[in-house]
Structure 1
Protein backbone atom coordinates (compact mmCIF):
# COMPACT_ATOMS: atom_id res chain seq x y z
CA UNK A 1 0.00 0.00 0.00
CA UNK A 2 2.89 2.37 0.71
CA UNK A 3 4.30 1.82 -2.77
CA UNK A 4 0.97 2.51 -4.46
CA UNK A 5 -1.30 0.60 -6.79
CA UNK A 6 -3.13 1.49 -9.97
CA UNK A 7 -6.80 0.81 -9.28
CA UNK A 8 -9.85 1.43 -11.46
CA UNK A 9 -12.38 3.88 -10.02
CA UNK A 10 -15.80 2.87 -11.31
CA UNK A 11 -18.75 5.22 -11.64
CA UNK A 12 -21.90 5.10 -13.77
CA UNK A 13 -20.89 5.53 -17.39
CA UNK A 14 -17.12 5.63 -16.87
CA UNK A 15 -14.11 4.05 -15.25
CA UNK A 16 -10.74 5.62 -14.69
CA UNK A 17 -7.41 4.28 -13.53
CA UNK A 18 -5.87 6.11 -10.58
CA UNK A 19 -2.82 5.63 -8.44
CA UNK A 20 -3.75 4.98 -4.79
CA UNK A 21 -1.15 4.98 -2.01
CA UNK A 22 -1.04 4.92 1.78
CA UNK A 23 0.75 7.98 3.12
CA UNK A 24 3.55 7.62 5.68
CA UNK A 25 1.20 8.68 8.52
CA UNK A 26 -0.57 5.33 8.13
CA UNK A 27 -4.04 6.91 8.13
CA UNK A 28 -4.27 8.85 4.87
CA UNK A 29 -4.90 7.45 1.41
CA UNK A 30 -3.57 9.61 -1.41
CA UNK A 31 -4.74 9.25 -4.99
CA UNK A 32 -3.95 10.93 -8.24
CA UNK A 33 -6.24 11.37 -11.20
CA UNK A 34 -4.28 11.28 -14.44
CA UNK A 35 -7.30 12.26 -16.51
CA UNK A 36 -7.41 15.86 -15.36
CA UNK A 37 -5.00 18.25 -17.03
CA UNK A 38 -3.87 19.58 -13.67
CA UNK A 39 -3.22 16.04 -12.43
CA UNK A 40 -5.11 16.67 -9.26
CA UNK A 41 -4.01 14.91 -6.10
CA UNK A 42 -6.58 14.11 -3.47
CA UNK A 43 -6.67 12.37 -0.10
CA UNK A 44 -9.09 10.73 2.29
CA UNK A 45 -8.63 9.50 5.82
CA UNK A 46 -9.03 5.97 7.11
CA UNK A 47 -10.85 7.62 10.04
CA UNK A 48 -13.73 8.43 7.66
CA UNK A 49 -14.19 4.88 6.35
CA UNK A 50 -17.29 3.13 7.62
CA UNK A 51 -16.81 -0.24 5.91
CA UNK A 52 -15.02 -2.15 3.16
CA UNK A 53 -17.06 -4.55 1.04
CA UNK A 54 -15.48 -7.20 -1.16
CA UNK A 55 -16.81 -8.15 -4.57
CA UNK A 56 -19.72 -6.44 -6.29
CA UNK A 57 -21.74 -5.71 -3.16
CA UNK A 58 -22.44 -2.07 -3.99
CA UNK A 59 -25.11 -0.91 -6.42
CA UNK A 60 -22.43 0.88 -8.46
CA UNK A 61 -20.31 -2.23 -8.93
CA UNK A 62 -23.32 -4.45 -9.67
CA UNK A 63 -24.35 -2.08 -12.46
CA UNK A 64 -21.01 -0.84 -13.76
CA UNK A 65 -18.33 -3.29 -12.68
CA UNK A 66 -19.14 -6.28 -14.89
CA UNK A 67 -15.97 -5.72 -16.92
CA UNK A 68 -13.88 -6.76 -13.91
CA UNK A 69 -13.80 -10.14 -12.15
CA UNK A 70 -15.78 -10.01 -8.90
CA UNK A 71 -12.70 -11.11 -6.95
CA UNK A 72 -10.91 -7.92 -8.09
CA UNK A 73 -13.69 -5.54 -6.98
CA UNK A 74 -14.27 -3.81 -3.65
CA UNK A 75 -16.10 -0.78 -2.28
CA UNK A 76 -15.20 1.71 0.40
CA UNK A 77 -18.18 3.19 2.26
CA UNK A 78 -17.65 6.46 4.09
CA UNK A 79 -19.34 7.88 7.16
CA UNK A 80 -21.88 10.60 6.60
CA UNK A 81 -23.33 11.54 3.26
CA UNK A 82 -20.31 10.84 1.10
CA UNK A 83 -20.94 8.15 -1.51
CA UNK A 84 -19.14 4.86 -1.99
CA UNK A 85 -15.79 4.57 -3.68
CA UNK A 86 -16.08 1.61 -6.05
CA UNK A 87 -12.72 0.18 -7.09
CA UNK A 88 -11.29 -2.70 -9.11
CA UNK A 89 -7.74 -4.00 -8.97
CA UNK A 90 -5.84 -5.70 -11.79
CA UNK A 91 -5.49 -8.90 -9.78
CA UNK A 92 -7.30 -10.69 -7.00
CA UNK A 93 -4.16 -10.45 -4.84
CA UNK A 94 -4.00 -6.64 -5.18
CA UNK A 95 -7.67 -6.32 -4.23
CA UNK A 96 -7.21 -8.63 -1.24
CA UNK A 97 -4.13 -6.68 -0.09
CA UNK A 98 -6.05 -3.40 -0.14
CA UNK A 99 -9.12 -4.83 1.58
CA UNK A 100 -7.10 -6.50 4.34
CA UNK A 101 -4.79 -3.51 4.73
CA UNK A 102 -7.64 -1.00 5.01
CA UNK A 103 -9.43 -3.20 7.53
CA UNK A 104 -6.30 -3.41 9.69
CA UNK A 105 -5.89 0.36 9.54
CA UNK A 106 -9.56 0.81 10.51
CA UNK A 107 -9.08 -1.51 13.50
CA UNK A 108 -6.02 0.48 14.55
CA UNK A 109 -7.98 3.75 14.26
CA UNK A 110 -10.85 2.33 16.33
CA UNK A 111 -8.41 1.31 19.07
CA UNK A 112 -7.09 4.88 19.35
CA UNK A 113 -8.61 7.17 21.93
CA UNK A 114 -10.03 10.53 20.86
CA UNK A 115 -7.02 12.23 22.45
CA UNK A 116 -4.58 10.03 20.52
CA UNK A 117 -6.37 10.88 17.27
CA UNK A 118 -6.21 14.59 18.01
CA UNK A 119 -2.52 14.44 18.96
CA UNK A 120 -1.50 12.39 15.93
CA UNK A 121 -3.88 13.97 13.40
CA UNK A 122 -4.62 17.51 14.70
CA UNK A 123 -6.11 18.76 11.42
CA UNK A 124 -8.28 15.70 10.87
CA UNK A 125 -11.97 15.85 11.56
CA UNK A 126 -12.65 12.92 13.87
CA UNK A 127 -16.04 11.24 14.09
Structure 2
Protein backbone atom coordinates (compact mmCIF):
# COMPACT_ATOMS: atom_id res chain seq x y z
CA UNK A 1 0.00 0.00 0.00
CA UNK A 2 2.87 2.36 0.71
CA UNK A 3 4.33 1.55 -2.72
CA UNK A 4 0.99 2.57 -4.23
CA UNK A 5 -1.25 1.47 -7.09
CA UNK A 6 -2.93 3.12 -10.03
CA UNK A 7 -6.69 2.99 -9.61
CA UNK A 8 -9.71 4.63 -11.15
CA UNK A 9 -11.39 7.15 -8.86
CA UNK A 10 -15.08 7.34 -9.71
CA UNK A 11 -17.03 10.55 -9.46
CA UNK A 12 -20.69 11.45 -9.72
CA UNK A 13 -21.72 11.76 -13.33
CA UNK A 14 -18.49 11.74 -15.29
CA UNK A 15 -16.13 8.98 -16.20
CA UNK A 16 -13.52 7.97 -13.67
CA UNK A 17 -10.11 9.51 -13.24
CA UNK A 18 -6.94 7.41 -13.17
CA UNK A 19 -4.93 8.33 -10.09
CA UNK A 20 -1.98 6.90 -8.19
CA UNK A 21 -3.08 5.99 -4.63
CA UNK A 22 -0.70 5.28 -1.79
CA UNK A 23 -0.50 5.11 1.99
CA UNK A 24 1.74 7.85 3.40
CA UNK A 25 4.96 7.10 5.29
CA UNK A 26 3.23 7.42 8.69
CA UNK A 27 0.44 5.04 7.65
CA UNK A 28 -2.04 7.72 8.63
CA UNK A 29 -3.37 9.01 5.28
CA UNK A 30 -4.42 7.67 1.92
CA UNK A 31 -3.14 10.07 -0.72
CA UNK A 32 -3.45 10.32 -4.48
CA UNK A 33 -1.87 12.19 -7.34
CA UNK A 34 -2.09 14.01 -9.62
CA UNK A 35 -4.43 16.51 -8.08
CA UNK A 36 -4.96 20.22 -8.61
CA UNK A 37 -5.66 20.59 -4.88
CA UNK A 38 -2.74 18.64 -3.47
CA UNK A 39 -3.57 19.32 0.19
CA UNK A 40 -7.12 18.02 -0.33
CA UNK A 41 -5.95 14.86 -2.11
CA UNK A 42 -5.88 12.79 1.05
CA UNK A 43 -8.10 10.96 3.49
CA UNK A 44 -7.02 10.35 7.05
CA UNK A 45 -7.20 6.67 8.01
CA UNK A 46 -8.77 7.82 11.31
CA UNK A 47 -11.67 9.34 9.39
CA UNK A 48 -12.48 6.12 7.48
CA UNK A 49 -15.67 4.65 8.94
CA UNK A 50 -16.18 1.67 6.64
CA UNK A 51 -14.56 -0.19 3.75
CA UNK A 52 -16.98 -2.00 1.43
CA UNK A 53 -16.06 -4.59 -1.17
CA UNK A 54 -17.67 -4.66 -4.58
CA UNK A 55 -19.98 -2.24 -6.35
CA UNK A 56 -22.28 -1.37 -3.46
CA UNK A 57 -22.13 2.43 -3.38
CA UNK A 58 -24.53 4.82 -5.04
CA UNK A 59 -21.78 5.96 -7.43
CA UNK A 60 -21.14 2.40 -8.65
CA UNK A 61 -24.88 1.91 -9.25
CA UNK A 62 -24.81 4.73 -11.82
CA UNK A 63 -22.50 2.72 -14.08
CA UNK A 64 -23.77 -0.04 -16.36
CA UNK A 65 -23.58 -3.65 -15.18
CA UNK A 66 -20.49 -4.74 -17.15
CA UNK A 67 -18.46 -1.55 -16.64
CA UNK A 68 -16.14 -2.90 -13.93
CA UNK A 69 -15.16 -6.25 -12.48
CA UNK A 70 -16.81 -6.32 -9.02
CA UNK A 71 -13.71 -8.04 -7.59
CA UNK A 72 -11.69 -4.91 -8.42
CA UNK A 73 -14.16 -2.45 -6.87
CA UNK A 74 -14.34 -1.07 -3.35
CA UNK A 75 -15.53 2.01 -1.52
CA UNK A 76 -14.33 3.93 1.51
CA UNK A 77 -16.84 5.82 3.62
CA UNK A 78 -15.20 8.57 5.60
CA UNK A 79 -15.79 11.77 7.52
CA UNK A 80 -18.74 13.04 9.51
CA UNK A 81 -21.02 13.02 6.47
CA UNK A 82 -19.99 9.53 5.32
CA UNK A 83 -18.64 10.70 1.98
CA UNK A 84 -17.55 7.91 -0.32
CA UNK A 85 -14.36 7.35 -2.26
CA UNK A 86 -15.14 4.76 -4.92
CA UNK A 87 -12.17 3.00 -6.46
CA UNK A 88 -11.49 0.42 -9.15
CA UNK A 89 -8.14 -1.33 -8.92
CA UNK A 90 -6.27 -3.07 -11.73
CA UNK A 91 -6.75 -6.55 -10.25
CA UNK A 92 -8.85 -8.27 -7.62
CA UNK A 93 -5.69 -9.00 -5.64
CA UNK A 94 -4.84 -5.28 -5.44
CA UNK A 95 -8.37 -4.53 -4.24
CA UNK A 96 -8.16 -7.25 -1.56
CA UNK A 97 -4.79 -5.87 -0.41
CA UNK A 98 -6.25 -2.39 0.03
CA UNK A 99 -9.46 -3.61 1.65
CA UNK A 100 -7.66 -5.86 4.12
CA UNK A 101 -4.90 -3.34 4.82
CA UNK A 102 -7.36 -0.53 5.49
CA UNK A 103 -9.41 -2.71 7.81
CA UNK A 104 -6.27 -3.59 9.77
CA UNK A 105 -5.27 0.07 9.98
CA UNK A 106 -8.76 0.98 11.16
CA UNK A 107 -8.46 -1.68 13.86
CA UNK A 108 -5.15 -0.22 15.01
CA UNK A 109 -2.91 -2.92 13.58
CA UNK A 110 -0.23 -0.92 11.83
CA UNK A 111 2.47 -3.42 11.03
CA UNK A 112 2.95 -7.05 10.12
CA UNK A 113 4.78 -7.81 13.37
CA UNK A 114 1.84 -6.86 15.57
CA UNK A 115 -0.52 -8.67 13.20
CA UNK A 116 1.65 -11.81 13.39
CA UNK A 117 1.82 -11.53 17.18
CA UNK A 118 -1.97 -11.30 17.45
CA UNK A 119 -2.37 -14.28 15.14
CA UNK A 120 0.14 -16.36 17.15
CA UNK A 121 -1.67 -15.51 20.38
CA UNK A 122 -5.00 -16.45 18.82
CA UNK A 123 -3.53 -19.71 17.50
CA UNK A 124 -2.14 -20.60 20.94
CA UNK A 125 -5.52 -20.48 22.72
CA UNK A 126 -6.77 -23.83 21.35
CA UNK A 127 -3.49 -25.64 22.10
CA UNK A 128 -3.39 -24.21 25.63
CA UNK A 129 -6.91 -25.45 26.21
CA UNK A 130 -6.14 -28.93 24.87
CA UNK A 131 -3.11 -29.20 27.14
CA UNK A 132 -5.18 -28.15 30.15
CA UNK A 133 -3.38 -24.84 30.70
CA UNK A 134 -4.94 -21.47 31.22
CA UNK A 135 -7.10 -21.35 34.32
CA UNK A 136 -6.36 -24.98 35.14
CA UNK A 137 -8.45 -26.11 32.20
CA UNK A 138 -11.60 -25.11 34.05
CA UNK A 139 -12.93 -23.00 31.19
CA UNK A 140 -12.53 -25.45 28.34
CA UNK A 141 -16.25 -25.84 27.69
CA UNK A 142 -17.11 -22.15 27.83
CA UNK A 143 -17.47 -20.11 24.66
CA UNK A 144 -14.31 -18.66 23.17
CA UNK A 145 -15.68 -15.12 23.62
CA UNK A 146 -15.88 -15.50 27.40
CA UNK A 147 -12.59 -17.32 27.94
CA UNK A 148 -10.19 -14.33 27.93
CA UNK A 149 -12.38 -12.44 30.40
CA UNK A 150 -12.79 -15.42 32.68
CA UNK A 151 -9.10 -16.29 32.58
CA UNK A 152 -8.39 -13.13 34.53
CA UNK A 153 -10.95 -14.10 37.19
CA UNK A 154 -9.03 -17.13 38.52
CA UNK A 155 -11.05 -19.71 40.42
CA UNK A 156 -14.30 -17.86 39.78
CA UNK A 157 -14.32 -19.40 36.31
CA UNK A 158 -14.34 -22.90 37.83
CA UNK A 159 -17.41 -22.00 39.89
CA UNK A 160 -19.06 -20.51 36.81
CA UNK A 161 -18.31 -23.63 34.81
CA UNK A 162 -19.98 -25.78 37.46
CA UNK A 163 -23.07 -23.58 37.35
CA UNK A 164 -23.26 -23.58 33.55
CA UNK A 165 -22.40 -27.26 33.08
CA UNK A 166 -25.28 -29.70 32.58
CA UNK A 167 -25.82 -32.10 35.46
CA UNK A 168 -23.50 -35.07 35.28
CA UNK A 169 -24.89 -38.60 35.56
CA UNK A 170 -23.12 -39.24 38.91
CA UNK A 171 -24.87 -36.32 40.60
CA UNK A 172 -28.15 -36.96 42.32
CA UNK A 173 -30.74 -35.74 39.84
CA UNK A 174 -33.67 -38.00 40.70
CA UNK A 175 -35.70 -34.98 41.75
CA UNK A 176 -35.46 -33.67 38.16
CA UNK A 177 -36.58 -36.83 36.36
CA UNK A 178 -40.24 -37.50 35.63
CA UNK A 179 -42.12 -39.80 37.97
CA UNK A 180 -42.28 -43.40 36.85
TM-score range, shorter chain: 0.7 to 0.9
The structure with more radius of gyration: 2
The C-alpha deviation readout for 1:20-39, integer Å capped at 9, x for no partner, is 11111111111113xx6x58
* Aligned ranges 1:71-86 → 2 under 5 Å: 71-86=71-86
Distance 2:77 2:43 in 1: 12
Judge conservation of contact 1:20–1:30 (CA < 8 Å) in 2: yes
Structure 1 position 81, deviation (Å): 1.7
Identify which of structures 1 and 2 has the higher relative contact order when contacts are C-alpha pairs closer than 8 Å and 6+ apart.
1
Give the structure 2 partner of residue 44 of structure 1: 43
Distance 1:65 1:2 in 2: 32
Distance 1:6 1:84 in 2: 18
Q: Which runs of 4+ in 1 moved over 6 A?
A: none
Unaligned runs of 5+ in 2: 110-180
In the superposition, relative to structure 1, how do residues 40 and 64 fare at CA in structure 2: closer, same or farther (>3 Å)?
farther
Judge conservation of contact 1:74–1:95 (CA < 8 Å) in 2: yes
Unaligned runs of 5+ in 1: 110-127
Structure 1 or 2: more strand by fraction:
1
The C-alpha deviation readout for 1:19-59, integer Å capped at 9, x for no partner, is 111111111111113xx6x5846221100000000001111
Equivalent residues, number: 106
The C-alpha deviation readout for 1:61-118, integer Å capped at 9, x for no partner, is 1212741101100000013125200100010000000000000000007xxxxxxxxx
Distance 1:51 1:107 in 2: 11
**TM-score between the two structures when normalised by the length of structure 2:** 0.54
Structure 1 or 2: more helix by fraction:
2
Cα-Cα RMSD: 1.9
Give the structure 2 partner of residue 5 of structure 1: 5
